[in-house]
Structure 1
Amino acid sequence: MVLLTKFLATMEMRDAQLLRRRKETDEYATWRLTFDEDAPGRQMSAGWRTTPSPPEWECVLVRGRDSDIADIVVKGFGDRELLYGEGLVLQSPIDVSILLSVEHPTEDDVLHATSMPTFDGTMSEEESEILLSCLTVPYVRLPLVLDFFASQDRYAYLFTSALQNVFRAVIFEPSVFVAPETLQKANPTMVPMRLTEQQRKVIELRHLRGDFSVENFESCLGTTYGLLLNELRHSPASVLDPLRRILESVLEIGPSSVYSANAPYVLFIVGVVCDVLAFGNIVRGWPSLEGSAQLETLTAYQTSMLRFLLTTVQPTLKEWCREGEENDDTPTQCVLQSYLGVIYRAAWKMALTTECLSSPSRNEHDVDGESGQQRGADISPFSFSTMASHPALGVSS
Structure 2
Amino acid sequence: DLLRASLFEPGAWVPPDVLRSVGSVPMRMTALQKREHVLERLLKANARQDDSLLLGTSQGLLLNELRCSPDATLEPFLEVVRAVRDLTHSSVYSSNASFILYMLGLAIDVETFVVHAIRQAEAGAWDSPRSLERLHVHRQSLHAYLHGTIAPTLERWRGEAEGLNDMPTASVVHSYLALLWTNAQPADFSPATVTALLGSVAFVRARHGFGLGLLRSQLLEQEGEDELTPEARLVRLLQVQWIATGKVR
TM-score, normalising length: structure 2 = 0.57
| 1:46-125 equivalent positions in 2, closer than 5 A | none
Contact 2:65 2:73 in 1 (8 A): yes
- Whether 1:229 aligns to 2:63 is yes
- Structure 1 residue 288 displacement after superposition: 3.7
- Whether 1:250 aligns to 2:51 is no
Larger Rg: 1
Higher strand share: 1
Report the AA paired with residue 173 of structure 2.
L
1:269 and 1:228 map into 2 onto residues whose CA distance is: 17
Contact 2:118 2:132 in 1 (8 A): yes
Contact 1:175 1:222 in 2 (8 A): yes
- Which deviations, in whole Å up to 9, do the C-alpha atoms of 1:292-338 show, x marking residues without a partner? 11111111111111112111210100100110011111111111111
* Equivalent residue in structure 1 for 2:114, among 274, 277, 280: 280
Contact 1:173 1:227 in 2 (8 A): yes
- RMSD, aligned CA: 3.5
- Structure 1 residue 388 displacement after superposition: 2.2
Secondary structure of 1:312's aligned partner: helix
Contact 1:289 1:295 in 2 (8 A): no
Assess, with a 3 A threshold, how the Cα gap between structure 1 residues 178 and 239 changes in structure 2: closer, same or farther.
Answer: farther
- Which deviations, in whole Å up to 9, do the C-alpha atoms of 1:160-201 show, x marking residues without a partner? xxxxx221111112359699xx9xxx9xxxxxxx97869xxx
Gaps of 5+ in 2: 29-51, 197-249
Secondary structure of 2:180's aligned partner: helix
Assess, with a 3 A threshold, how the Cα gap between structure 1 residues 250 and 222 changes in structure 2: closer, same or farther.
Answer: closer
Gaps of 5+ in 1: 1-164, 187-193, 199-217, 352-383
Report the AA paired with residue 388 of structure 1.
F
- In the other structure, the counterpart of 1:309 is 146
* Matched positions, count: 166
* Equivalent residue in structure 2 for 1:263, among 97, 117, 120: 97
- Structure 1 residue 254 displacement after superposition: 4.4
* Equivalent residue in structure 1 for 2:132, among 295, 299, 304: 295
Identity of aligned residues (%): 33
2:76 and 2:192 map into 1 onto residues whose CA distance is: 27
Report the AA paired with residue 338 of structure 1.
S
Higher helix share: 2
- In the other structure, the counterpart of 2:189 is 388
TM-score, normalising length: structure 1 = 0.37
Assess, with a 3 A threshold, how the Cα gap between structure 1 residues 196 and 393 changes in structure 2: closer, same or farther.
Answer: closer
Runs (4+) off by over 4 Å: 175-179, 194-198, 389-395
- In the other structure, the counterpart of 2:3 is 167
